[in-house]
Amino acid sequence: MRINDTFRELEPAKRLTILNAAMDEFAQHGYEKASTNAIVREAGISKGLLFYYFHSKEELYHDLLAHAYDTLKDSLMLAFDSADGDFIARLRRAAERKLRTYIEHPHIVRFLGAVFLERNSGHLPPAMLENLNNTYTTFRAQLYANIDTSLFRDDVPPEHCIQLIRWCMEGYEKEMEAMMSRHGMPQEPGAYTPLFEAYYGYLDSLKQVFYRK
Amino acid sequence: MRINDTFRELEPAKRLTILNAAMDEFAQHGYEKASTNAIVREAGISKGLLFYYFHSKEELYHDLLAHAYDTLKDSLMLAFDSADGDFIARLRRAAERKLRTYIEHPHIVRFLGAVFLERNSGHLPPAMLENLNNTYTTFRAQLYANIDTSLFRDDVPPEHCIQLIRWCMEGYEKEMEAMMSRHGMPQEPGAYTPLFEAYYGYLDSLKQVFYRK
Amino acid sequence: MRINDTFRELEPAKRLTILNAAMDEFAQHGYEKASTNAIVREAGISKGLLFYYFHSKEELYHDLLAHAYDTLKDSLMLAFDSADGDFIARLRRAAERKLRTYIEHPHIVRFLGAVFLERNSGHLPPAMLENLNNTYTTFRAQLYANIDTSLFRDDVPPEHCIQLIRWCMEGYEKEMEAMMSRHGMPQEPGAYTPLFEAYYGYLDSLKQVFYRK
Amino acid sequence: MRINDTFRELEPAKRLTILNAAMDEFAQHGYEKASTNAIVREAGISKGLLFYYFHSKEELYHDLLAHAYDTLKDSLMLAFDSADGDFIARLRRAAERKLRTYIEHPHIVRFLGAVFLERNSGHLPPAMLENLNNTYTTFRAQLYANIDTSLFRDDVPPEHCIQLIRWCMEGYEKEMEAMMSRHGMPQEPGAYTPLFEAYYGYLDSLKQVFYRK
DNA sequence: TATGAATGAGGGTTCATTCAT
DNA sequence: GATGAATGAACCCTCATTCAT
């Protein structure tokens, strides 16, 4: 069991209040600038209690990361469960799942993004950093395993096709994340439709140029 | 003369030691978390001297930005001097110059990147923020102006071509930056040859798939 | 409630230790030169705690002033409650009350004196400054209102009588304050008797020379 | 010779510039808050030179005091050279001389006033403090020596007459000083006439009430 | 003589962390 | 379990003082 036992026994609502308050603070200000005062204020608990559950700011950070992993484990496992050879189709499903995860667990996704951004600042224990990198690498590997390269046009090296397509997808994702962090995330599901349509448009174009006729 | 006179008269080696120490600290931790203690420790000067040169942390930050501009001015001016309609050729020149700038002034480039990331945190005076945004906008505009879309294949919207190509370029650049920050930057110029060759290979593929025959 | 709640809940002894340490420091050195280090050293608390109670040096100063007002409010209210036309009798009662206040609250009186001296240095919020000036003006006005000038001898302008008598009273008060700050204040009440007797002697002489027979 | 020899050899104009700049700074801000930076800026000399002449802020303070004594010695000696028994006449001459000194040496008088005010703050060496107190005591003593008490009315103790008159004089002086520090000192000599007339008016009243007919 | 760059202790303030209750 | 008062190191910054030139 990763997180402090007494903390895990808490009624889930309060537990989540604390976790989300902490994740938001870390996501917004980064590890160093994050204020434990702000966390307890937002979570509605006392300073002492926070340090009773998590013995230090650093441990809190680590426990949040563990919590994030635990929560997303299932979602992530499904991410590539039915990977088929069509690379672009696979990317399409991956992006959809990614977006869905963001909608379901916005605190966690934002926190993970912030953790990932400052993963080399020295606040993660080597094991966790390695784990983080491994997870990232594994997902990467899964994403690029067993691609049916026979779908690609033959006048361009298939590795180039894969790389270029991947960069396009990542570029699109980053753009969307940037947009969302600027305007906040739409609350009603319908608002996401045009985003997906634009996305599908790009996928079509990618197919057009990278796949053989 | 932007930076404190007495500071500018310093022997260049020491001046650069201080500037680089400060830029590294700001680049690594951001404005708020950057520690003047860490800077003076790294630069090997006393606390008082730093504030004798730069009267405040904020002024130091601004002077560093001015220094970055002054140093890169010439490089940047040349960046798009002979832009032609061939979008991919244009990107090629831009990336080459960008890489060269990074190789010549790594501290400055990293510092500028960090400044740009937190440009809306309120630590830049309005004039500087506007200048930064203008520079960025201008470069962006220049990069995407007067593109000869007749070179693109006609079964895909030209906006899609432009976007997708851009994402590919940015993806490649980020990958190279990441690699450099992981392994350190090669010191001997010859080490960059394979990087450029890989790069040119990607450009060829991009031409192959996005340009008409 | 003016002063920080958690501070007000303190056991009175400790609260007074802190307040007096702070008031002494401000009274001795003025606002700017007063050292919070000296205050915490004198009060026997940590630096952090002082700023936990009072969020800044300035707020501490303001809270001390509020504390001084609160404490002296009752004493001050009574100061001129039964003013009659006999100017010297009025001064007598005022000085008695003033001395009694000084004996009971020496730290506060000295602090207030110092605050008043540097009231235009910009460390008081406008409201407090105005309040201070108003209080002073009101007391002044009350002290010199409705004086029965028919009691004065008629060969000297009554304004002269008032001014000269006032200067005598102030001179005497200052002398006593100086003496007390030199020798410390007597602890046993009986020690004040000779002071009052000397004082009454002067009042008799003033009556003799300024009042008509 | 009290003040640093090399400093005394300076051309008088520059010497005075430095002395006055320093005295003004101390008079305005007190010992602690006085800034050596402000002094050298005002005096137009370098930081190093100030500490070449005066080895420390404290020694500067002491040397300024010595300079003040030296300069005022002659004026002060004359203050009571022809003291006669008429106490009020004597006070009249003393006040006139005091005002004249203020007009002739405003920097010095203001500096001495400030020194006297904070003479117990611990910045004066014991010898100087004692000297200061002695001087003050001596002047006091001279002022109250050989008073012809037969001039006073006989229904009031002569000590009372002396004290009360003294307080009146001091009250008037303080009032004038306060007024001058508020409005600045008039530059043209004629402006002082009304002040003296008011003063003489008060002296007349004092004679009226304290002297026998 | 004269300079001003360089120092480091001390200024007010914040904040993660501890501990008596 | 739960609190928040209490701590002290570190924050940015100032300033009297020194010293190589």
C34 touches strand E (CB under 7 A): yes
Q: How far apart are CA B58 and CA B50, in angstroms?
A: 12
Amino acid at D79: A
pLDDT in tens, C44-67: 999 999 999 999 999 999 999 999
A57 touches strand E (CB under 7 A): yes
A9 touches strand F (CB under 7 A): yes
Nearest to B32 by CA among B110, B114, B123: B123
Q: Give the pLDDT band of residue A1 (cuts 50, 70, 90).
A: very low
pLDDT for res B58:
94
Q: In this complex, how many residue pairs, one in chain C and one in chain D, have their CB atoms less than 8 Å apart?
A: 64
Q: How far apart are CA D5 and CA C199, in angstroms?
A: 52
Helices B36-43 and B57-78, axial angle in degrees (round to 10): 70
CA angle B65, B66, B68 (to 5 degrees): 65
* Residues A157, B205: C-beta atoms closer than 8 Å: yes
Q: How far apart are CA A97 and CA A76, in angstroms?
A: 8
Q: How far apart are CA C104 and CA C185, in angstroms?
A: 10
Percent pLDDT > 70 in chain D is 90
DSSP B152: B
Could you tell me if B32 and B118 are in contact, meaning their C-beta atoms sit under 8 angstroms apart? no
D41 touches strand F (CB under 7 A): no
Residue numbers in D near C206 (CB within 8 A): 164
Å between CA of D50 and C1' of E1: 12
Chains in contact with A via at least 3 Cβ–Cβ pairs below 8 Å? B
DSSP H helices in chain D: 5-8, 12-33, 36-43, 47-53, 57-79, 87-104, 106-117, 126-143, 158-183, 193-210
Please name the member of A33, A121, A157 whose beta carbon is closest to the beta carbon of B32.
A33
- What mean pLDDT do residues C28-48 have? 92
pLDDT for res B69:
93
- What mean pLDDT do residues D137-157 have? 89
- What mean pLDDT do residues D47-72 have? 92
pLDDT in tens, C113-122: 889 888 888 8
pLDDT in tens, A30-64: 888 889 999 999 999 999 999 999 999 999 999 99
pLDDT in tens, B38-70: 999 999 999 999 999 999 999 999 999 999 999
Distance in Å, alpha carbon of A9 to nearest chain B alpha carbon: 35
Å between CA of D116 and C1' of E12: 29
pLDDT for res D157:
95
Q: What are phi and psi of B152, to 5 degrees?
A: -75, 155
Phi-psi region of A184 (alpha: psi -120 to 50; beta: other; left: phi over 0): left
- Does the structure show a pLDDT above 50 at D1? no
Q: How far apart are CA B96 and CA B110, in angstroms?
A: 17
